[in-house]
Amino acid sequence: MAFMEAVSTTITMNLPNAISLLTLGIIMRLLPIIAPSWVPVDPSIGISARALWLILTGYVIGGTGAVWLLREGARKTVEALGKANARLHTLAEARAERLTRRPGTFRDAGARVRM
């Protein structure tokens, strides 16, 4: 029963996880360049299978973190722009209402005329 509870637990991606994945991917991608002695070159193919594996998994892991960060950043940007637009719309409506309630002001077809 404890195994089933552990399996059904959902782990969601969050900001620290995404940053960690991006950082790990960058490190894995740069490891063959930074420490070439750890990834010896096979003379028959001109590159190390270990280096190819590090490069490939670095792109996959780093890409996973980068895509989540970009998606989350886009979501928050759209949310902030929506709130700013709603606030501007509310301010514009309040201003229009104040202008129509002003004594001695006649408003016709968007033009203000003093009586």
In this structure, is the dihedral angle defined by the CA atoms of residues 53, 59, 64 and 65, taken in order, positive or negative?
Answer: positive
Look up the pTM and report it: 0.64
CA angle 24, 75, 92 (to 5 degrees): 150
pLDDT tens-digit readout, 5-18: 655 667 788 999 99
pLDDT band for 38, please (50, 70, 90 cuts): confident
pLDDT tens-digit readout, 63-79: 999 999 999 999 999 99
| Percent of all residues in the chain with a pLDDT value above 70, rounded to a whole number | 80
pLDDT band for 55, please (50, 70, 90 cuts): very high
